[in-house]
Amino acid sequence: MPKFNFNLRDAAADHDTPVNFIIRWGNRRLVYSTNETIEPTHWCGSPSQRNHQRAKETRAFPEHPEFNARLDSLLSIAKAAFRQYSLDHGRDPEPGELKIVLDIATGRVSDRHRTDLLAYIADFVSCTSGNINPHTGKTMHATVHGRNRIVLRYLQEFVNASRKGSRIPFTSVDAGFINGFSTFLTKRKGLAMNTVGKYLRALRMFLNTAVEDGIEVSKSFRSRRITIPEERTEQIYLTEEELTDVYHLDLVQQPRLDRARDLFLVGAWTGLRFGDLSSLKAAHVEGNRIRIRASKTGRSVVIPLHPVVRNVLQKYRGEMPPSLSNQKLNEYVKEVAQQVPSLHGRCVTGITRGGVRDEAAHEKWELVTSHTARL
């Protein structure tokens, strides 16, 4: 059960100081402004006082009845809002979620996020609900937060460019709107086809979540006339023979490349994402297996311990090679690949960007990145 308290921001002040409303539940805490101020000499801060955490009933502060009534009212609103949120969602609110509910219940903000897509996404991004996948209930990966913020920014740019005002009513998000947004991302922003598809899927996720929250949304956003563009990626991969060539490359005199090569090989023989690869520790090794919880899905995965991975661990005395930033790892891995003779063959790859298909030929080593390890 939550605990509610009113505290002075500065109990030692010799002038009016704000009264804060403190709400604690579980390991969470929200400090909410009461919009009230009072001189500390007029405040009952001791539990032994009759009006604990309220204004003293004194002639020196004649407005104490109205002041205390406003605090009592805020307390009642907060208790009801917390209880109703828990009943509606089957869980306690996060601090950011509770603040939004209180702002609406107290009339400090309008319920605009229930009619305006931009306001709804902004609330979703800013409050802690953005940390939870609405479908799985599991923590979202950091890249998802970045994607959500980018979608919001592009939607705002689209609205400004199309002179639709500063709002997007949910009822106006129909097939025409979504196809227009897709064209904007493709033609005006010049994004790759799969990137456009990623942002449209995120928009669809927001709309589905709004429907689950009881918001009236145009049903045509699920129309078959809406197509989410997607093309098969043409990313290179390394064969087992090429990985062996990378493994046997002599990099003793190039320690930074030696470390990058070892990290890349561990990634290749485990299939772990960069974020999980950088957090891999000796404690994750259990005999001939690696057991680790994937940061993106939250699921525990068990991976056979490949001989190359075992040799890398032995090389670093049972530990993983010191981690590198993704940017540095990509830079160094490309230098490593350039030194492997078998990676100097020509490859033709293509991508559709801005609605135009572009193909180019490269030497294979030029296309090697840290992500290549997972292919």
User: Is-contact 130 148, C-beta < 8 A?
Assistant: yes
Our CA angle for 275, 276, 281, nearest 5°, is 125
List every span in the chain annotated with CATH 1.10.443.10. 240-374
* CATH architecture of the domain with range 240-374: Orthogonal Bundle (1.10)
- The candidate with the shortest Cα–Cα distance to 349, out of 334, 368, 328, is 368
Higher pLDDT, 78 or 85: 78
Residue 301, Cβ density class (10 Å: 0-12 exposed, 13-18 middle, ≥19 buried): middle
* Average pLDDT of the residues of the chain: 84
Mean pLDDT (whole number) for 115-128: 76
- The candidate with the shortest Cα–Cα distance to 96, out of 152, 30, 27, 141, is 30
94-119 pLDDT tens trace: 887 788 788 878 877 656 666 788 88
- The candidate with the shortest Cα–Cα distance to 113, out of 162, 168, 68, 173, is 168
Fold exhibited by the domain 113-222: DNA polymerase; domain 1 (1.10.150)
Mean pLDDT (whole number) for 206-226: 81
Which residues lie closer than 8 Å to 318 by C-beta, 6 or more apart? 282
Q: How far apart are CA 299 and CA 304, in angstroms?
A: 16
Per mean pLDDT, which range of 98-112, 134-148, 237-251, 289-303 is the poorest?
Answer: 134-148
240-283 pLDDT tens trace: 999 999 999 999 999 999 999 999 999 889 888 777 777 777 78
- The candidate with the shortest Cα–Cα distance to 40, out of 60, 63, 14, is 14
